[in-house]
A and B are shown apart, each in its own frame.
Chain A
Amino acid sequence: MTQTVDQIFVLGKHWLLEYVPIAAKPIVSAVLSVIPIMVAFPLLFAITTWLERKGLGRMQNRLGPNRTGPMGLWQPIADGIKSLTKEDIVPLTADHVVHFLAPLLLVAAAFLAYAVLPVGRNMVLVNLDAGVLFFFAVGSVVELAVFMAGWSSRSKYSLLGAMRAIAQMISYEVPLVLATVAVIMQSGTLSTVEIVERQAGYTGLLPHWYVFTPWGILGFILFMIAATAESNRSPFDLPEGESEIIAGYYIEYSGFKFALFFLGEYLGMFATSGIAITLFLGGWSAPLSVLTFIPSWIWFFAKLLVLICIFIWIRGTLPRLRMDQLMSFAWEFILPMALINMFVAGVWHFMASGFVRWIACATLVIVPCVVLSALLKRKKKLQLRTYSFAE
């Protein structure tokens, strides 16, 4: 029975495919696999906008939206109708073709990233041999879309925002990939399905998730920080902070194109959370061996919701990082820690399993962390301000 519920979507798809003639089977199979993704993740986007507004409100001692429907549940629908019916203003001197294509490219790249995410047991759109690499390749297309958006508006604010956004994305892509390399080293494969299957075993009660190892914890934290920066989310949202540069690279977009940018950003957030879950949190496997009766896709979405709540929590807590702080944080703390994390993963791989391994790796993780952060703090010694006035 639990098996059936676990595989209910796969079985449903096979049942539907029986009514399709053989010639059309590959195309219909592909379409049937894509449609749930195109339905589920925008729905999750709507739920997340609601969750974010209510959650941020409660964290800030206020109610979120509560007039549109019970507890404000129809607020995403109201937002959608608003963005659809707003006038689509394009600046006169803007580059119309590129201006039109930028949000499309962003959303397309964001949707492509879900192709390698194993949402449940046997529930991945395409089992690529180099799945993780595909994910990062698609992520780098996002930067191009950001540049197109910022440049085509022919506005200084948007260009400045785009430059900052691209600099930030490129800087944080390196630690993102390096944190992943540690996982790839340990699991020996680039395929997301196999990485999840390596983590699906249990010793006694506890699972084999990579996050329960010293390098896994550090890697997960680094990955989450880099993912926050990749999707331009607070505290790394200087390129699009409303009080800083009004909307950064999508300042000249209105109406549905703006909603598409919003959608693309949130989809990117979900995709990176999904990959974090796949790489570190065991994908669709249950946290305790007694809980495996709950279907795998429920576990995946539960973990995704937890990560989204953590994103919202961090957004409500931390102030925005300034651009130079952001860059120095990336290059002087996160990148060395990611390299050290790779080293520690290697040490873990080659030492015999046991208590000593834990102690050694934990030390190797904690000591550089403390040292690097002390170095970073010391650099920021405040100096006496000198003013030079025009004579």
Chain B
Amino acid sequence: MAAHIGSTQRPKSLMISFLIIAIMVAGGTAAAMVLRNPIHCILALTVSFAGIAALYLKLGAQFVGFTQIMVYVGAVAILAVFAIMMTQSRRIPVAGIFSRNASVGLFTASAVFAVLGWAILSQPGNGPAVQNTSVSVQQIGGSLMHEYVLPLEIVGLLLTAALIGAVVIAMDRKEDAE
């Protein structure tokens, strides 16, 4: 079931499920812009991440979809909430749903949406339909090891550096305490 941009032959079930996921993504992001409590904002953003993962799965990219959940929902969201809690725990508001600058947030979100939408829609997208080839995990692994081995190694180096940096920072504090 390929989704052709610009084609008029879309199965109805596909439209409905896409609509639901789109509402989830857009609504989650909009909520993240207007909510008062930063933790609520991050949880709304997590809903949006999950929606994006669902979109990946609909496009048949299983690996990317599950990695999106594992990395974004399972790690980035937790990282963000930890960051907020460690630094802002005293200033987290308890009452009230919408933040004071909700309108500004909403305006910014819609502005970005408008720009991106204009950029996408002004593409010559009515060309031949893209055949939805499902890429298997073997192909991803193979290309990572053959064509994209340099970016892989660089990313690995970067992550190792970050890990070592975190350990060094934590260790320094322990020595100071002694």
Contact = CB atoms under 8 A, between A and B. Distances in A.
In their complex, do chains A and B touch, with some C-beta pair under 8 Å?
yes
Interface of A: 93, 95, 98, 128-130, 133-134, 136-141, 143-144, 147-148, 151, 159, 166, 170, 188-190
Nearest to B95: A93
B100 to A, nearest CB: 19
Given A98-B40, A130-B63, A151-B39, A140 B69 contact: yes
Contacts of B134: 129
A144 B46 contact: yes
B129 interface: no
B62 A129 contact: yes
Interface string B129-161: 000001011100000000000000000000000
A134 B134 CA distance: 16
Q: Is the interface of A mostly helix, strand, loop or mixed?
A: helix
Contact of A129 (B69, B70, B73, B136): B136
B62 A130 contact: yes
B102 interface: no
A99 to B, nearest CB: 12
B18 interface: no
B37 to A, nearest CB: 8
B85 interface: yes
Interface of B: 37, 39-40, 43, 46, 62-63, 66-67, 69-70, 73-75, 77-78, 81, 85, 94, 134, 136-138
Name the residue among B37, B70, B81 with the largest chain A CB count within 10 angstroms.
B70
A379 B59 CA distance: 51
Contact of A140 (B62, B63, B74, B85): B74
Given A129-B136, A151-B85, A144 B63 contact: no
Contact of A137 (B67, B136, B138): B67
B94 A144 contact: no
Contacts of A139: 74
Given A141-B73, A148-B43, A134 B136 contact: no
6 contacts: A95-B37, A133-B67, A136-B66, A137-B70, A137-B73, A144-B74
Nearest to B60: A129
Contacts of A134: 62, 66
Contacts of A143: 74, 78
Nearest to B63: A130
A144 B43 CA distance: 9
A140 B40 contact: no
A93 B94 contact: yes
A144 B70 contact: no
Contact of B137 (A129, A138, A144, A148): A129
A138 B77 CA distance: 14
Contact of B62 (A95, A128, A141): A128
B67 A190 contact: no
A249 to B, nearest CB: 13
Given A141-B73, A166-B78, A133 B40 contact: no
Nearest to A129: B62
B136 to A, nearest CB: 6
Contacts of B73: 137, 140-141, 144
A237 to B, nearest CB: 20
A141 B67 CA distance: 12
